[in-house]
Structure 1
């Protein structure tokens, strides 16, 4: 038996939490929208909403984050300090362990300014470390709303080339593309549309959420961000936003055209991620084909990539014990929150 623990992943657009019960099962997973770039009150509200959704007060917490990067902070250090202060105010007097990447966990009341950069944007390390414990070899890929992490696991160990965002962007282990918040113009500058190749407008007219509403890949529970024009999230409104990328006037009678355009944009994003996966797979020491381990709300893309590359696919949910009470938001959707709860509870 272990003390129940709540794992937190504080992002720039969402707050995610995972409750690990005394049997080591993920009992509850919560995702709250949190536009942190608009100010700390949004974080405080999101934390309160998570706590209100819990069946009872949790006596222990583990925290990781990426939200320190948002532009309401002048530096990552300031962001880490502000987020930790907000967590302290909302969760005290319960013990809080802060994940500091390769340094492990630090009790919040023992965190020093010199620890801030190790704490900053370390959530991917937690997920990959847990995957490495449970699966000896493979490529761990977390496709989220905004970014994609691609991490090599060999001999039950994470083999990362980079640890800062800068290093990981250079190594190709961090791809700034996701299935909800990414602008279409960041994925495709050219596309096959209406039977011919063409350039697309470099304007924030549409996001990839519009694409995946039309392809029916995006679940409503995962669709928590504002649209580019502030309008509704219906398939028709999504198609209208996508039409602006082409300069071709939207009409309902052209519905097959918009569905085909959405599939074209999906394929471009999937190919981008597939190429990044192949780049990391070339580092494998073994000639044996790796297993692709999928996490994040966009892992449906990784399943398709695995099929196309004739590789085995393993879902993050298969690595952990999960209660049948977990709802539409599951452990694999919020892998870093689950991982810090598991790792802190070991």
Structure 2
């Protein structure tokens, strides 16, 4: 098992030490369809930027340009850039192949001026240069979860890694330090796999989770409109804050300000619309009840997946990441499994794939340099 030095965030370092760390810093980029996440290998720079590619894929260029400027303004010296992605699935691209290539082109355009190597993480778990993407673009599609799982596997040999994010939940079995999950999304979505649950705690349509709800002892069918999303449910329940609500609300266009759109009352009104009514008709208690049922549906979905992993691989320990870690805690508790304390804090947890790909690249370069030094000594 590899001992990975994760950053100690509270310790204040001297100026000379900071400069030394900057010279050895690596940047990780996770290009998603809704959010682009960045992190440096020492965690001095960590961010998640809402950048919906389906509105305009050029938004990625603007976001990365700001990241580049931010690095220059802060004097951060990047030794290498590691990239993972899931944004290729956005329907602004005709095919996923096209998406991978376009994302590669934008990243390369932005960072070529830094005169550093940009490495892309593929499905086999290795880094490759951008030119290699031409040969097999799909080998680089949807690899962000794999980077996180690989980092976790270096620290925990037998564990179920769960990353519950804004849009999806990854459930990854690691046995003897080996990642047992399938590599493509379609394989992980297979009904027997339970490795990719396409629901998250922000962007998922409530109608995708609940076809019926119970209210005051009666059962009602829900509308299949995009009236409410999971972020509304968890804002009402207090599991997330307004600051965590990093996506558009379903009816954001109806409000003068984002603050109004993402208020608890607005979220309850959207939940009421799931029953084709106003909040005044079901009351706050009714909206709260719908929110509870949304959470129960997601927790139960994860319980099913975890139970399957436990039985299939004889695993009883779970480690979690992502802004939906509260879902993981409830599922683990229901199954009386053991939830491990992660080595990362909540800030890193929300962008773990970006941090993981930065850290993995740092480790690989360090190993290559050590090997070269050893060869020169011979």
Cα shift at 1:248: 3.5
Match of 2:124 in 1: 102
Match of 2:25 in 1: 4
Is the Cα contact below 8 Å between 1:100 and 1:115 reproduced in 2? no
SS of alignment partner, residue 30 of structure 1: strand
SS of alignment partner, residue 18 of structure 1: strand
Match of 2:316 in 1: 290
Cα shift at 1:274: 1.4
Cα shift at 1:118: 1.0
Distance 1:262 1:271 in 2: 14
Residues 1:62 and 2:87 aligned together: no
Superposed, which structure 2 residues align to 1:182-331 within 5 Å? Answer: 182-230=204-252, 231=255, 232-251=261-280, 254-284=283-313, 286=314, 290-315=316-341, 318-320=342-344, 330-331=347-348
Unaligned runs of 5+ in 1: 323-328
Ranked by relative contact order (alpha carbons within 8 Å, sequence separation 6 or more), the top structure is 1
Higher gyration radius (CA): 2
Distance 1:332 1:137 in 2: 20
Given the superposition, is the C-alpha separation of residues 190 and 229 from structure 1 closer, same or farther in structure 2, using an over 3 Å criterion? same
Match of 2:7 in 1: none
2:359 to 338, 342, 345: 342
Given the superposition, is the C-alpha separation of residues 58 and 193 from structure 1 closer, same or farther in structure 2, using an over 3 Å criterion? farther
2:161 to 119, 126, 140: 140
Cα shift at 1:252: 9.0
Of 239-248 and 6-15, deviating more is 239-248
Match of 1:20 in 2: 41
Cα shift at 1:180: 0.6
For residues 164-194 of structure 1, what are the alpha-carbon distances to aligned partners after superposition, in whole Å with 9 as ceiling and x for unaligned? 1111101221111011110000010011123
Match of 1:74 in 2: 94
Cα shift at 1:260: 2.1
Question: How many matched pairs?
Answer: 328
2:53 to 19, 22, 36: 36
2:180 to 143, 155, 159: 159
Distance 1:42 1:302 in 2: 32
Match of 2:14 in 1: none
- TM-score under structure 2 length normalisation: 0.82
